[in-house]
A = this chain, B = another copy of it.
Amino acid sequence: VPRGKSSKVNPRRRQRAEARRKDGLLTTGDMARLSQNTLRTVRFYEEEGLVSPGQRTSGGHRLFTLHELKKLLLITDLRAAGLTLEEIREMLRAKDRARTGAAASREVVTRIGTQLELMTTRVSLLRRLITELESTKKHLEECMDCNDLRRFSNGCKDCSRLRDDGSFPDALGVLWGVEA
C-alpha cells in the first residue's frame, strides 16, 4: 500500500475533480488530474516553456485555459510515445517560428513524419515482444504445479516439459537459464 495517498473517497474532492471554476479556468491540480500527471510535472512543463498559465490568482495560484489542457494532453501522449521534451517543444513552436503557411506546414509535416516512423517501429518491437512473452508465459504455466524438487534443483535440465517443444522462445531460455 503506497503511503501518503489516502484511499478514502473524499466526496468534496470528487466534486472538485469534475467541477469547473465559474470562470472556466483550470488550477494546476485540475490539469494534473485530467492529464494523469503529477503537480510537479505540470509545473516542470511550465518551467520548460511547454505550457503556460495565462494568469495567476492574487495568491499566486496558476490558472490555465482549456487550450492549455489540450496541449498538456498532447504533450503527455507524445512523452508516453517516446518523444523528448525538446522534440515536443520544437513541434509545438514550429508554426510560430515559420514566416509562411507553406513553411510552417512543411516543417510540421516533416516532424510528424519522422515521429510516425519511430512510433511504428516501437509498435513492431512491442508486438514482437508481446508474442514472445505470451509464448514464454504459456510454457511456464505448465510448470505451475510442478513438485519435482530434484529436477528443479538440477536447473530443469532433464525435464521434458521444457524441451519437447520445437519453437522455444529465446526469452524462456534466458529466464530459465537453460544453457548457463
Binding site for B on A (CB under 8 A): 67, 70-71, 73-74, 77-78, 80-81, 91-92, 94-96, 100-102, 104-106, 108-109, 112-113, 115-116, 119-120, 122-123, 125-130, 133-134, 136-137, 140-141, 143-149, 151-152, 156, 170-171, 173-177, 179-180
Contacts and interface: CB of A to CB of B under 8 A. Distances in A.
Contacts of A92: 174-175
Contacts of A96: 177
| Chain A contact residues, majority secondary structure | helix
Q: How many copies are assembled?
A: 2
A125 B113 CA distance: 18
A143 B105 contact: yes
A123 B125 contact: no
